[in-house]
């Protein structure tokens, strides 16, 4: 049985400083795990696993199909693969994509949507957390409840930055579970990194800005840039001084900008770079 999961609104680090997110029991602060969203459903004597996009992936994670989860339960959480003591997104994606991968996974659970065949999404999160605590097996290394604290979101985020983790999630303790909706009851704050790079080429068929680091090494492709900034980019490209073929427009004079990104990949590339600012004035 699949439920379209509740989604997260994004807020910035400055917004995180608001008093309401500090010493306030009305909000829970959780670690945001860098993995793959997964719903576990146990109905009719069989555990089934689904991604947030309704892709059934039960056969990919057999270690989750024999967990002692009561019949009539749906759980929401994140699967991760740990490397050097923290979640590694590349490793969990490798495990998801390849049947030959042997990376051990763990399932961090943060919510319960059905209990004993009963829909409990209308209960406040505080009650669902208590129910979840009672039904998860203790001491099982494969499945665990994601820990949370009351308030103190800014302090928690500072620790996330110090430990180079993905981010935090802030949830109203009174929140119901709203299927397939974003809500200000569930918020995420990402621990972005920032890097000065150069746009050296423009991909022509499907927009992408090819990036290099300051030392000339390939850094990746930036696919997201706001429409206004993309228009400025094209306005400042003199096609007469550049070369192009069917796939790329190569800039004679690379354009410098700052991007934000999640982390560096194992190949040293920027993971999901997106535009942050120009590093010099460009004509508007």
Say which CATH topology domain 7-190 has: D-amino Acid Aminotransferase; Chain A, domain 1 (3.30.470)
How far apart are alpha carbons 74 and 139 in whole angstroms?
A: 20
Dump the DSSP string for 19-85: GGGSS-TTEEEEEE-SSEEEEEEEETTEEEEEETTS-B-GGG-GGGTT--PPTTEEEEEEEE-EETT
Per-residue pLDDT tens for 196-235? 999 999 998 899 999 999 999 999 999 999 999 999 998 8
**Residue 99 pLDDT class (50, 70, 90 cuts):** confident
Exposure string for 193-223, b = 16+ CB within 10 A, e = fewer? bebebbbbbbeeeeebbbbbbeeeeebbebe
Homologous superfamily (CATH) of 193-278 is Nucleic acid-binding proteins (2.40.50.140)
**Annotation marks residue 133 as catalytic:** no
How far apart are alpha carbons 58 and 204 in whole angstroms?
A: 38
Per-residue pLDDT tens for 32-68? 999 999 999 999 999 999 999 999 999 999 999 999 9
Q: Specify the range with the lowest mean pLDDT, choosing from 20-29, 48-57, 171-180.
A: 20-29
Q: Which of 32, 129, 171, 172 is catalytic?
A: 32
Dump the DSSP string for 231-265: HHHHHT--GGGSEE-SSEEEEEEEEEEEEEES-B-
Cα 6–chain centre separation? 14
Q: For the chain, which residues make up each domain, given as ranges?
A: 7-190, 193-278
177: its two tokens: 């579970």
**What mean pLDDT value characterizes the chain?**
93
């Amino acid at each position: 049985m699949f439920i379209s999961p509740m989604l997260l609104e994004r807020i910035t680090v400055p917004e995180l400083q608001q008093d309401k997110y500090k010493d306030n029991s009305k909000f829970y602060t959780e670690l945001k795990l860098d993995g793959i969203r997964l719903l576990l459903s146990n109905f009719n004597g069989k555990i089934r696993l689904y991604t947030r996009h309704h892709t059934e992936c039960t056969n990919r994670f057999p270690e989750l199909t024999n967990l002692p989860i009561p019949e009539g339960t749906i759980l929401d959480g994140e699967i991760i693969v740990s490397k050097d003591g923290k979640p590694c997104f590349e490793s969990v994606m490798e495990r998801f994509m390849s049947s030959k991968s042997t990376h051990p996974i763990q399932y961090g659970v943060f919510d319960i949507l059905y209990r004993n065949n009963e829909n409990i999404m209308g209960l406040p999160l505080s009650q669902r957390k208590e129910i979840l605590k009672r039904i998860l097996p203790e001491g099982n290394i494969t499945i665990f409840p994601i820990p949370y604290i009351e308030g103190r979101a800014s302090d928690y985020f500072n620790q996330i930055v110090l430990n180079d983790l993905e981010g935090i999630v802030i949830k109203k303790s009174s929140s119901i579970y709203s299927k397939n909706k974003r809500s200000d009851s569930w918020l995420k704050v990402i621990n972005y990194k920032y890097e000065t790079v150069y746009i050296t080429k423009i991909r022509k068929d499907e927009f992408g800005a090819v990036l290099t680091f300051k030392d000339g090494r390939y850094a990746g492709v930036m696919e997201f840039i706001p429409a206004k900034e993309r228009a400025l980019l094209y306005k400042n490209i003199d096609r007469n001084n550049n070369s192009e073929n069917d796939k790329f427009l190569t800039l004679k004079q690379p354009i410098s900008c700052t991007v934000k990104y999640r982390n560096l990949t194992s190949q040293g590339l920027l993971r999901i770079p997106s535009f942050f600012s120009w590093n010099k004035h460009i004509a508007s």
